[in-house]
Amino acid sequence: MEADIEHKLQELREKREIARLGGGKEKIEKQHKHGKLTARERLELLLDPGSFFELGQFVTHRCRDFGMDKERYYGDGVVTGYGTINGRRVYVFSQDFTVLGGSLGEAHAMKICEVLDYAIETGSPIIGLNDSGGARIQEGPSHYGAIFCRNVLASGYIPQISAILGPCAGGASYSPALTDFVFMVKGISYMFITGPRAVKAVTGEELTVEQLGGPEVHGEISGVAHFVAESEVECMKQIKRLLSFLPSNCMEKPPTVNTGDDPNRMDESLNYLIPVNPRKPYDIKDLILKVVDGGDFLEVQENFARNIVVGFARMNGETVGIIANQPKFLAGSLDINASVKAARFIRFCDAFNIPLITLVDCPAYLPGKQQEHGGIIRHGAKMLYAYCEASVPKITIVLRKVYGGALSGMCVSKHLSDITLALPTAEIAVLGPEAAVEILFRKEIAASENPEAEKAKRVLEYREKFCNPYVAAERGYIDGVIEAREIRPTVISLLKALKGKVKRALKKKHGIIPL
């Protein structure tokens, strides 16, 4: 009897070893030669040691055509299951390029759908490690649709994270695009709908995979990638750091962390960080780092639409989402890409109970034919819609200037924000001083012996009488004026005061965001 049990145990152990080897030692070596880790090595980096439990380890494909009966592997090219990250449960799938190029067939798709279902049912984040040649043509029609439906079902309910760790082409690219955050790694990642060969055949353009859909393209130009890492090791660290700011699902609050940073801390240098001259640039991230807990700020889409900065931080140990104009780029004005970037981030924070802190230094929407023809009205409305829809606590601080349509676009309104404050350096007006003066005093300036001097005098007068924050405060447009050094303790105090805020919504299926 013991011999029979030993035989069965040996059989199990052998099958497990076969499954662990995926496509075999030669293909694993080839994966390593290309500078890539295997599906299982990636999970070992991502998850807490010993926490991974695999599901569907012995699943194989069912196709018998085109010689596929001789190409059967345990797991069918994807490792799925659950584990923990810093003690918190997550569900995962990791595509195995050593098995049929990580191609997606029916059984492969079924395994991904199952872990998505488990993640939704248990209220756990889902992390997908993508490394696939695309749909498996030997198995007929694509099975991506089943995954897409679950991505949409999970949207706003659990955090969805995608890491692109190899090819991700055609229909395969849409599942990551439906998730909340996309990570890419330099040197090994690329994403596109149509590959270089097809592009050349149709348009005549000759492009490498990196030029068409590499990390630099999606991190800086298209905005598809939210994070770009130097290596797979760094990528896994970034994913862990991101998760530390997020709740497991929309029914929970983000985790509170004891950062040891005094909530009443004030930094005198903040009072002198922002130049009085509204045209002089500065780095908004210098202010953010001085205000948040421990100078810890996780920027999202760092190199895309750099005229606006978005990201996660903690205030008194609690996660906040920060949206801030960046005067170093395009003077912090709002354009199409900045509006879309901010709108998506705002909606994510609202879905997962993360308060919004908006830091404003914005001259206006970027003018010009390119922006107007590109649909700045439609795209700018996305950001406005996101702010109006958000029910989490919203605190806005005008740092230096905000004019015209940017007042609403940047949540500088008691109708949009719960609390709106300003610094003494703030200018709040329908038009900037120069533009306002040219309209209001056009005749006087033209009739003057020295038009330039007359204009300068009128601009100074307009600034003193109409643009300063005290006029806005007197009229009730803002709730108060504070010193820059007071930003941290004031925001923390307001977040406490706004805890438990409830916004009643009309009963309807959903709104129509201006996509």
For residue 473, give the 3-state DSSP assignment. Answer: helix
The helix-helix angle for 232-245 and 39-46 (nearest 10°) equals 40
* Nearest Cα residue to 277 out of 401, 92, 462, 434: 401
Active site residue 332: no
> What region, left, alpha or beta, does residue 38 occupy, with left being phi > 0 and alpha being psi -120 to 50 degrees?
beta
What's the rounded Cα separation, in Å, for the pair 169 and 172?
Answer: 5
What is the number of other CB atoms lying within 10 angstroms of the CB of residue 190? 24
Active site residue 83: no
Residue 129 gets which letter from DSSP? E
What is the number of other CB atoms lying within 10 angstroms of the CB of residue 491? 23
**Are the C-beta atoms of residues 61 and 72 closer than 8 Å to each other?**
yes
**Helices assigned H by DSSP within 70-173:** 106-122, 144-154
Helix count and strand count (H, E) for the chain: 20, 17
Q: Write down the catalytic residue from 75, 83, 170, 432.
A: 170
Supply 34's token pair: 């290309």
Cα 462 to the chain's mean position, in Å?
A: 40
Q: Write down the catalytic residue from 404, 405, 435, 456.
A: 405
**Are the C-beta atoms of residues 169 and 177 closer than 8 Å to each other?**
no
Three-state SS sequence of 397-427: EEEEEEECCHHHHCCCCCCCCCEEEECCCCE
Q: Write down the catalytic residue from 123, 171, 223, 374.
A: 171
Q: Write down the catalytic residue from 154, 331, 406, 436.
A: 406
Longest Cα–Cα distance in the chain: 112
What's the rounded Cα separation, in Å, for the pair 433 and 463?
Answer: 6
Active site residue 105: no
What's the rounded Cα separation, in Å, for the pair 187 and 46?
Answer: 20
* Nearest Cα residue to 242 out of 359, 85, 116, 393: 85
What's the rounded Cα separation, in Å, for the pair 143 and 240?
Answer: 30
What's the rounded Cα separation, in Å, for the pair 218 and 67?
Answer: 37
For residue 168, give the 3-state DSSP assignment. Answer: strand
Task: Give phi and psi for 299, each to the nearest 5.
Answer: -80, 140
Active site residue 170: yes
Q: Which residues of 114-151 are buried (b: 16+ CB within 10 A; e: fewer)?
A: bbbebbbeeebbbbbbbbbbbbbebbeebbbeebeebb
Half-sphere exposure of 19 (CA within 13 A, CB side): 19
Residues catalogued as catalytic: 170-171, 405-406
